[in-house]
Structure 1
Amino acid sequence: MAKRPLIIDTDCGIDDAQAIMMALAAPDIRVLAVTCVFGNTSVENVCQNVLRVLDVCERQEIPVFRGSGGPLVGASSQARDHFGTDGLGDVFKDQDPQWEQKIQKEHAVNAMIRLVNENQKQVSLVALGPLTNLALAVRLDPGFPQKLKDLFIMGGNMEGDDDGNVSLCAEFNFAMDAESAYVVLEDFLCPTYLASWEFACRNALTWVRCGRGASPQNAPAAVFMRTVTSRCWAFSQEASRNKRDVHFGPGFVSYDAYAMAACIDGSVVTESIECPVRVELQGSMSRGMVVLDRTDELKKSHNVFVLTKCDAEKFRRLLVESVRQPRR
């Protein structure tokens, strides 16, 4: 059976790294490229983080492309440091002096358009960071979305009760570039699946179930993930001691991995809401929030699948497989 081609667009933080590893471990997935965007850290750090993940997994043949260094409109917001200043918890002191030579010369947006044109109706696109690269792609090639097989997005907050992410009503990825999120959810008419902030938080795993408390694994990917999640583990322990929810809460929430899992195995998702959506841009408190239109007020022809429940055991197995010895 032919492997399904996949492009990963990422602002590579800790959960992005886990999602990338999940894709690399999936036996029926072929990662065509990783495109980088600002978000958890600068786009330069993102490129280096992706190269580090590919090195750990011995998949250096996968091309990495540098993309947008800021939002579609306005100046970049200051990224929060939940994942450290470098996006991976500031746990690595070494830096590859040759990293820039390992990044492809072609811009990420151009590469995305080219690869999809070469594989029309075959490529799944998984977007794990701000949607700037995707918005630019549809502006450069208005037919780009229709050439995709499907799109999976980690992002958005739809209930207005987000405490501890960015604002009352905005999830990080959408808040960092609300205009791009708006463009993508208006113009991408391919099958689209949205793994929101609430979806990830409500399907959290305990640290033991996700493998942190299990017997140590010596595979390089497992060692890498234990190292970069050490800061998340500390947040979680603080939450448990103080009986309050901080960024990661008392369990492990690998946000981006939920979108990747839905792409790899659709049966991971057990419930979703199918309806039109729109990203709010004007509200002083609700900018970046995703509005679900269940009463057809927007009169849109395109629906999005907003994920609500998942099979926790299937998701856990994908997480565990992602840190075993890499498979080609």
Structure 2
Amino acid sequence: MIKMINENPGEVTLVATAPLTNLAVAVQLNPKISKKLKALYIMGGNTESRGNTTTCGEFNFVADPEAAYIVLDRYTCPTYIATWEFSCRNSLPWSWCDELLALNTPKANFVKTISSLSNKKAQSADYQKEITEGKGFNSCDTYALAAAINDTLITKSEEVAVTVELEGNFTRGMMVLDYMGQLKKKHKVFIMKEIDKEKLKQMFMNSMK
């Protein structure tokens, strides 16, 4: 990853859909890569202290809070975050999901097979305790990836400085938004707020052909 970024400055867009350990290690090994990226898209974190793994933490950040802290502190390229709440609010109807997986193409059949367990889990009573609002097909990681492919999908976002709580008994791993400017950070990230669902649906459909 470091080699690719250094050889192609300003051309590489990273999409992070898991704990940020590798990105944190990379920027510590080579601090200059943080400015050489074209953009960084992250699925992770939360904005309203509603967790899906701990009381106040989203899985990707809770799995390695220190890594999330380092990434949000040291990467100074344009950074876009699809949070847990954002993905919940933009869930797609299960009826549409059924239509997507019924296309009977090799890709659709493959996705149907590998997602059967997670889709069953997503419709369970236990999962309903994790979501902040809305019901339906919540493909969390896809929002970050889709935005990286076509940034016009995101119709509303807010720019704010962020960090990650590392100490709290209940809030370790929670993303903190600094609206008051107390962190004195020059670099701010873009928190995704709204997405064009119709464009997203069409992107899904096209990808299954």
TM category, shorter = over 0.9
Q: How far apart, in 1, do the equivalents of 2:129 and 2:173 lie?
A: 21
1:251 is aligned to: 136
- Give TM-score, length-normalised by structure 2: 0.93
Partner Cα separation in structure 2 for residue 296 and residue 221 of structure 1: 46
What do residues 4-29 of structure 1 show as CA deviations (whole Å, max 9, x unaligned)? Answer: xxxxxxxxxxxxxxxxxxxxxxxxxx
Number of equivalenced pairs: 207
In the alignment, which residue of structure 2 is the partner of 1:218? 104
| 1:202, distance to aligned residue in structure 2 (A) | 0.5
> What is the RMSD of the two structures over their aligned residues, measured on CA atoms?
1.8
Q: Are 1:235 and 1:247, in contact at CA under 8 Å, matched by a contact in 2?
A: no
Q: Counterparts of 1:282 and 1:306 in 2: how far apart (Å)?
A: 23
Q: Which residue of 2 aligns with 1:15?
A: none
After TM superposition, the structure 1 = structure 2 runs for residues 302-313 of structure 1, keeping only pairs within 5 Å, are 302-313=187-198
Gaps of 5+ in 2: none
SS at match of 2:87: helix
2:154 equivalent to 1:231: no
Structure-2 change in CA distance of 1:117 and 1:250 (3 Å): same
1:170 to 50, 57, 81: 57
Instruction: Give yes or no for the alignment of 1:184 onto 2:67.
Output: no
Deviates more, 1:223-232 or 1:291-300: 223-232
* Structure showing the higher helix proportion among its residues: 2
Please tell me whether the aligned partners of residues 100 and 205 of structure 2 are also in contact (alpha carbons under 8 angstroms): no
Contact kept? 1:195, 1:307, Cα under 8 Å: yes
Q: Is the 8 A contact 1:132 1:180 kept in 2?
A: yes
1:314 corresponding residue in structure 2: 199
Measured after TM superposition, the shift of residue 227 of structure 1 is: 1.0
Query: 141, 146, 154: which is aligned to 1:261?
Result: 146
Percentage of identical aligned residues = 47
Q: Is the 8 A contact 1:170 1:288 kept in 2?
A: yes
Q: Deviations over 1:185-205 (max 9, x none)?
A: 000000000110001000000
Gaps of 5+ in 1: 1-111
TM-score by length of 1: 0.60
Q: Which runs of 4+ in 1 moved over 6 A?
A: none
Q: Which residue in 2 is equivalent to 1:274?
A: 159
- Aligned: 1:147 with 2:33: no
Aligned to 1:67: none
Cα distance in 2 for partners of 1:149, 1:282 equals 32
Report the CA distance shift for 1:215/1:166 in structure 2 as closer, same or farther (over 3 A). Answer: closer
- The separation in 2 between residues aligned to 1:238 and 1:286, in whole angstroms, is 26
Tell me how far 1:219 sits from its aligned partner.
2.0
- SS of the residue corresponding to residue 273 of structure 1 reads strand
Q: What's the counterpart of residue 206 of structure 1?
A: 93
1:134 and 2:20 are equivalent in the alignment: no
Larger Rg: 1
Decide whether aligned partners of structure 1 residues 209 and 301 sit closer, same or farther in structure 2, where only a CA change above 3 A counts.
same
Residue number among 289, 297, 305 corresponding to 2:174 in the alignment? 289
Q: Per-residue displacement from partner, 1:228-251 (whole Å, max 9, x unpaired)?
A: 221233234444xx9x81567741
Deviations 1:32-86 (A, max 9, x none): xxxxxxxxxxxxxxxxxxxxxxxxxxxxxxxxxxxxxxxxxxxxxxxxxxxxxxx
Contact in 2 for aligned 1:236/1:246 (Cα 8 Å): no
